[in-house]
Structure 1
Amino acid sequence: MSPADALADAGRRLVAAGLSPGSSGNVSVLDGDRILISGTGSSLGRLSEADLAHVGLDGSHLGGARASKETPLHVAFYRRDAAFRAVVHLHSPHAVALACLEPWAAHNAVPPLTPYFVMRVGQAPLLPYRHPGDPALGDDLLAAPWPLRAALLASHGAVVAGADLDEAVDRATELEEACRIALLTAGSPRRELTPDQIAELARRWDSPWTPEP
């Protein structure tokens, strides 16, 4: 499957899962020495070659459609870790709702309620509020002091990275589910995973997690 076809397939899956309302969200994949990213205003459920922008690793526009205003987020993840080859940014409802609340901890906005969140996502800190498209969103992601492969953006949504589009889509889906469970259990006595349980999962699944002091 070509990178363009893989992006179109990823977009359809995200829309089918209810994670990309309207024309919100954007997806990208590394294609050699450039980034292929959904264009501004495009619907993830109907991506075609004409909807894709070619962007340099410095964020410069190289051709194709007008790049998403959230391109700095994607560039930042690729700059953070060469293992990341795909990025998904969404305004999925439960991630947005949790991003409007105070974070569970500095290094992780999402309480560790299920092993799957720790295994498949790892810690997802809440980054400061910036208006959509602000290049400083990428600066914040790049400067985050914790190891991470996902983050919530205050009052905005989520961004995740993976080794390929399948992993990034799966990780975005798991993050949305973890946010949904956190909201469903808010205000009730709930059992979080213990530090020892989290450490064992993070070690076994090579997941980023910073122990609390």
Structure 2
Amino acid sequence: VEKVVLEQLLRFLQGEGVDTSRLDKDHLKQFLTGEPLWFVAGDRVLRIPLAGISKRSAGFAAAPAEVPEYEIFAMIQRLRRPLVAYLAGLEQADLDNVLNTAIRVSMSAPTFAFASWQHGVKLGGEGGLGVFIAPAEGITFDVQSGEVLYRNAEIKPVPDSMSAFADFEMVFGKEALQCAWRFHHTHRKWVEIIGENHELMEWDTPAKEDQGLGAPRTTGVQNY
């Protein structure tokens, strides 16, 4: 991951006309900390935008697998039948160990542990081959699609628009967190932080005509 970020830095400098052949790559790496980065050469000062890099992601921990998602999904589809058969044939203790390990990675929850995973049933009670649930945790794991649901909601990284606030880092620290979407209304995003007893809501900025005396407008029905 550090290599990718360094390449972004070099491409930006090259685009600004900077000769990067004379720059020490190892020296540049020490500045990839997530802090604001500036390049100064004589009377020239450049603010370097590294998209997706923030103080919270300092350290650049490698992803669970440095493989494109489509490659992983294609492999799962090729092997889904033997994979389901293998898991269905495991003893309960072994099944719990395998699934718990997968959940710890996918949900970034290193202490997750659940006994007695159930196979062939969804949280709503419907059947599903290759679907395993941990009812007390509200988790559904579909091994045929490689999908993990938390309370029937897809798990995603916390939106950057929420994690960018200083208060977020003060409460949760710098580690990357996962969330499950509760609601996505017209003007509000509502997520539940996985592994934390917190929910976050974010409202967009209202239009000028929806502020002040006589606002908001009543020209239609919207979700808030």
Do these two structures clear the TM 0.5 threshold for a shared fold by scoring above it? no
Larger Rg belongs to: 2
With the length of structure 1 as denominator, give the TM-score of the two structures.
Answer: 0.24
TM-score (norm 2): 0.24
